Structure 1
């Protein structure tokens, strides 16, 4: 006899954040390597394109820091048993409770740690969100906020994450430009600096 079970009745396994640094990756100079995502979505959709000429058509997800004072994009340690993309996806689920399609890397940045006397190496990816979880590993220690790009740029506490956001906005504008043949003026105004 075969029992049929609907997917709706299946229990989702409990998600748990990884802890510890025993699998942490470091580069050849001893810098800790971290990865993260900029989760984003379109307010109005026409496929995966912007509707209108406003930067406000794209929303990004920022989260509170664990100490609750600042806002940032999800990021964390890249571990030896995973690829960069897999680590970025894991950190995003753990910290922000969203899943989606990860896209081509936005860049690599070197930055000083605020809490340790160390230099970190950070990699950021865009994540087009297609699922927002009601329960995720760090739900009790972080808040998540959807906001437009301008607001996110103002509240993000890390300069290198702001640069990654600029790269994302320019990439989305470029994608739009190639689809429509004319780039949106408000998206084109986003400054971009070298980030590699």
Structure 2
């Protein structure tokens, strides 16, 4: 079953079983590093509007959600590192065109270890390291801004140990 058809089927099942509107599931990496004693977060621009977002996208069938988030970070930002196995949390957003589509994005912290000079989507996106405060101020979704602002790598490192 093609991925788009499978997502549509799952959304319809969700609505039938639980009522209300289903959310399409995406995954995102929260790329971070330590710089001069401070935490920095990397954001990328979206291809459509050029607004600042986390690298995000669709998990492939059979792919662990955290691995999908790491793959998206490589494709959209040219970064690799250690991805957390547990989600930091999630946020929701809507896209409006002919109709409104609701998305839920599971976020996985990614401790960045390498930044490529060239990467798959380098001609379509800009990437930038920002302080946590700057990154939180530059994203549009309030839930994501709060998540970025509250992010603590120490908590993530304790979970991995």
Deviations 1:104-156 (A, max 9, x none): 31113343234451221210011110010112111110010011111111111
**What is the match of residue 106 of structure 1?**
88
Structure 2 residue runs without a partner (length 5+): 16-21
Does 1:129 pair with 2:112? yes
Task: Quote the residue 1:7 is aligned against.
Answer: none
Corresponding pairs, count = 145
Q: Quick one: structure 1 residues 160 and 80, their matched pair in 2 at CA, closer, same or farther if it must change by over 3 Å?
A: farther
1:65 aligns with 2:33: no
**How has the CA–CA distance of structure 1 residues 22 and 129 changed in structure 2, closer, same or farther, with 3 Å as cutoff?**
farther
Cross-structure match for 1:4: none
User: What's the CA shift for 1:24?
Assistant: 4.8
User: What is the SS of the residue equivalent to 1:142?
Assistant: coil
Quote how far apart the aligned CAs of 1:22 are.
Answer: 5.4
CA RMSD of aligned residues (A): 2.5
The equivalent residue for 2:18 is none
Identify the structure with the greater strand proportion.
2
Whole-angstrom CA distance in 2 between matches of 1:140 and 1:175 = 32
For residues 175 and 100 of structure 1, do their structure 2 counterparts lie closer, same or farther at Cα, with a shift above 3 Å needed? closer
Q: 2:74 is matched with which residue: 73, 93, 100?
A: 93
CA distance in 1, matches of 2:100, 2:49: 22
- Bigger proportion of residues as helix: 2
Per the alignment, in what secondary structure is the counterpart of residue 118 of structure 1? strand
Shift of 1:158: 2.4
The question of 1:117 aligning with 2:109 is answered: no
CA change 1:110–1:158 in 2 (3 A) is closer
Normalised to the residue count of structure 2, the TM-score between the two structures is 0.77
Q: Do 1:72 and 1:158's aligned partners in 2 also have CA atoms closer than 8 Å? A: no
* TM-score for the superposition, normalised by structure 1: 0.64
Quick one: distance in 2 between partners of 1:94 and 1:155? 21
